[in-house]
Structure formats: structure tokens, C-alpha cells
Amino acid sequence: MVRGRDRLLAIVALTVVWMLLWGVFSWVTLLGGLLVSMLVLTVFPLPPVTFAGRLRPGGLLRVAIRFLTDLVVASSQLAWTAFGGRRVPHSAVLAVRLSVRSDLHLTLCAEAVSLVPGSLIVDMDRAAGILYVHVFDVTGPADIDQFRRDVRDLEERIVRAVGSDAEIKLINEAATAGSTSTVGGSR
Amino acid sequence: MTVTAVLDVVAGVCLLGGALLSLAAGVGLLRFPDLLSRMHAATKPQVLGLLLILAGTAIRLGTAVDITTLVLVGAFQLVTAPVAAHMVGRTAYRAGLFRRDLLLTDELAADRRNP
Amino acid sequence: MIVVAAIAAVFLAAAAGMALGRIIRGPSTLDRIVGTDVLLAITVCATATEAAYSRDATGLPILLGLSLLGAAGSVAVARFADPVARPSPAVSPSLPGRGGAGAAGSMGALSGAESPGNDHPAPADPTGHQESTGRARGPVSTRRSREARE
């Protein structure tokens, strides 16, 4: 049943891409998209990555807005560093442990972290749910703590946008239990 | 001012912003001290710079067909860019292509020593 | 609009020049990959700027292709340059055809970078079996990406 839901989601997503490619929203592109995406999913089946959550419009909007502001702030800071003085910028490689450990969630968090300039995923421990992030232009321990908090906030926003109820519960527990949580697996 | 004039100004600002970010990336690429730092510079034109320029182009073109194409370009870029960045970053770290003296902490190395 | 286009063109050309500078200077293969990535992003930006300036959508399908496949090349080369995943030095010169000498040279450039990289021990990898598939696939995908770029 879960597989069926995943397949349905994939078909919908591929159909949307197909319609965007054509740029025409009509019955022809809709039916054509359904046909092509079913064909594609039959020939190239998806790996078993399940999407257990629900899409929440409010949470998605919050993620998008916050992501864009982060992007602008980080990009301008980095541009300033690039054009700026002779100071050699320092960095740090940090380990950030996520509360939710499903593969999809790990991927989403890693993508969001590495899309923002100034943080780059160097490695990750999939079993333990740890991201190793190279952070650029760090001046001291305060920056490091701030960055850890930023990533945790990001994770929380992502879970509240697309996570399942169980994952949201996990996040709430982690938030009340304190910052460095070692809560068990997601399911 | 007419609506098209205002839209042109907005588009122009977007285009200039994107171009400026690309320039900053070029400067950072030449000036930053080690490979991992340079990769941060590379992220800029790939993400925000590109998004700005695509927005400017979408405003200028203004037809549904072109805008959907531009949306797809942005989406594909946002999905694929981190993959390449992660692979290159991981390889760079493992090959030791970074200046250890510039790192304040290295928790990955610590975790590798005593897992 | 012509002023905007001219200024943007100057910025983008300067950025492309600097990315080229990084590609030429290296010093490692991965530096060149990063430079190539930036150059590709600048190409996409320039094509989009041209489309915006002339209100002409001819170039947009090019952008689609570049944004989808741009990452594939660097992923392939990064996989090949990985000291854990790459085959032992005795095996690596067996690259097919014309790529052989160039690849061997780039390997040398990789290890002879600004930091004395080789004293950093290759760390034990937790995902052993993935690495072995990467080893099997590495040279093939690199060759493909080379052919795609030429």
C-alpha cells in the first residue's frame, strides 16, 4: 500500500514536470504526462525510498521563505568576504546530529544545507544520522554554536513541512529534551 | 511609468544582481585559500545568482511557455547542484586537499579516529 | 536595457575569465572541476541574460539540458579522483585509449596539491560495498563524460 502511494506521488510529480516542459496545461499534456510517467516508472523503477509524511502548505511556505532569506544573507556575506580585505577566512568541519533518521529526510536536510553558500556537506553517517558540514568563515565558538542551532531549526522546519506525524513527535521530543538529542530511529 | 517600464527595471535589477554574484564567485574562486573554501564561492552563481537571472529572464519574456521552462531550469539546478558539490567536497576532504591550519575544529577527523 | 545587458556582460565575462584562471592554475584536478562548474553556471547565466535582453526564448532548451546534466560530469570525475574509491596506482594507467596519459597526469596533479595531501591517511570507509561499485564504474563514467564534453 505504501509502495502504491509512492508510485502515485512519483507519477504526479513526473506529470507536473512533463506539463511544465510543454508549457501548456491541457488535457493532451496531462494524459500524455500520465502515460509517459507510468512508462518511465515501469522501465526504471524507483529505489525503495518511502515518503511517509504529508505536505503542509503553511510549513512549505515557511521553509521557502526562510530558505530564500538565508540564501540572500549568506550569499552577500560570502561576496563581501570575496571582495573584502586581506584577512584569510577560517573554516570548521562540524558534526551535526539530526533527530529524524529516514533517508529522505537526511537527503532533504543535506540538500538544503549545501544549497546555502557557506556550508557544504563533506560527509555523512547515514546510520547515525550525522551530517559533517564544512562551514566557511567561522570566527569562534559562538559561530559554531549558532550554526548548529541553525541546522536544527532547519531540520525542524523541514519536518513540520513534509514530515509524518511520528516524525513531528520526534522533533517535539528533541526540542523539549534539549539541543543535542540522541533519539532513536524514526520508525 | 508604465507597467512594462517598472517590470523592466525589476528585471534589470535581478540580472545585475545575478551578474554581480557571478563576479563575486569568480573573485572568490581566485582568492580563497583552499579548495573547500573555493567550493563555497562556487555555490553562489549556481544557486542565488542563477535564480536571480532566471527571475529577470522570466519577467522579460513573460509568456507561460517560457516561464514554465525557466521554473524547470531552476528546479533542476537546485536538485542537481548539491549532488555535485557533495561528491567533490567529499573527495576533496578524503584527498586532504584543504589547509588543516585554517580549520578551527575538525569533528569528522575526530569521529574517524574514535568512532 | 542595453546598459544593463552591457554591465551584466562585463561582469559575467570577468567572472568567466577568473574561472578559467582557476582551471588553468589548478593546482589539483578537483580545483579544475570546481572551476569548470562555475564556468558552466556562468554560461547558463549568460545564455539566460541574452534571452532576457533580446526577448528571445531560443536558448532556453539549452539551459534545461545544462541544468540537468551539468552535475553529471563533476560527479563522475570526483568519483574517479576519490583516493578511497579509485583503483590502486598499478591499475589506474590501464585507462582506455587517448585518455591514458592525461588521466595519469591529472592523478599526479591531484596528489601534488598545495597541502602535502598524501600524509593524510585514507580513512576507513563505512560503506564498503558502495565504494567497490564506484571502483568498477569510475573509469567508464569518466570516459563517457569526457566524450560528452568534447
Quote the CA–CA distance of C150 and C142 in Å, as a whole number.
Answer: 12
Same domain assignment for residues A27 and A61: no
Give the per-residue pLDDT at C87. Answer: 52
Q: How many interface pairs between A and C have CB atoms less than 8 angstroms apart?
A: 4
- Chain C residue with the nearest C-alpha to that of A17: C64
Residue A71 counted as domain residue: yes
Same domain assignment for residues A61 and A39: no
Residue A33 counted as domain residue: yes
Give the per-residue pLDDT at C14. Answer: 92
Residue A64 counted as domain residue: yes
Give the per-residue pLDDT at A45. Answer: 82
Give the per-residue pLDDT at C138. Answer: 38
Q: Which structural domain range is residue B49 located in? A: 3-113
Give the per-residue pLDDT at C102. Answer: 38
State the pLDDT confidence band at C150, using cuts at 50, 70 and 90. Answer: very low
So what's the ipTM on this one? Answer: 0.87
Does the distance separating the beta carbons of B105 and A92 come in below 8 Å? yes
- Chain B residue with the nearest C-alpha to that of A22: B65
Give the per-residue pLDDT at A1. Answer: 53
Q: Which member of B54, B63, B97 has the closest CB to residue C113?
A: B97
Residue A98 counted as domain residue: yes
Predicted confidence (pLDDT) at residue C13 exceeds the cutoff of 90: yes
User: From first to last of its 187 residues, what are the pLDDT tens digits of chain A?
Assistant: 566 777 888 888 899 999 888 888 888 989 999 999 999 888 988 777 777 777 788 888 988 898 889 888 888 888 888 887 667 778 888 888 888 878 888 888 888 888 888 888 888 888 888 888 888 878 878 888 888 888 888 888 888 888 777 777 777 777 776 544 443 333 2
Q: Subunits with at least 3 CB pairs below 8 A relative to chain B?
A: A, C
Same domain assignment for residues A24 and A115: no
Same domain assignment for residues A89 and A21: no
Enumerate the residues of chain A whose CB falls inside 8 A of the CB of residue C126.
125, 127
Number of domain units in chain B: 1
> A118-122, B99-103, C103-107 — which is least confidently predicted?
C103-107
Cell numbers at C39, concatenated:
564556468
Does the distance separating the beta carbons of C126 and A127 come in below 8 Å? yes
Mutation site for B-interface testing, chosen from A132, A145, A151, A180 by largest number of B Cβ within 10 Å = A132
Same domain assignment for residues A123 and A37: no
Does the distance separating the beta carbons of A89 and B102 come in below 8 Å? yes
Number of domain units in chain A: 2
Residue A154 counted as domain residue: yes
Same domain assignment for residues A15 and A88: no
| More confident call, A48 vs B78 | B78
Residue A125's φ and ψ, nearest 5 degrees, are: -105, 105
Does residue C123 sit at the A interface (CB-CB below 8 Å)?
Answer: no
Average pLDDT estimate for B9-13: 89
Q: Which structural domain range is residue A37 located in? A: 2-43
Query: Which pairs from A162-167 meet CB under 8 Å and 24+ separation?
Result: A162/A51, A162/A53, A162/A54, A162/A55, A162/A56, A162/A59, A162/A60, A162/A108, A163/A53, A163/A100, A163/A105, A164/A52, A164/A53, A164/A54, A166/A52, A167/A52, A167/A53, A167/A100, A167/A102, A167/A105
Average pLDDT estimate for B4-13: 87
Same domain assignment for residues A70 and A122: yes
Residue A116 counted as domain residue: yes
Does the distance separating the beta carbons of C126 and A125 come in below 8 Å? yes
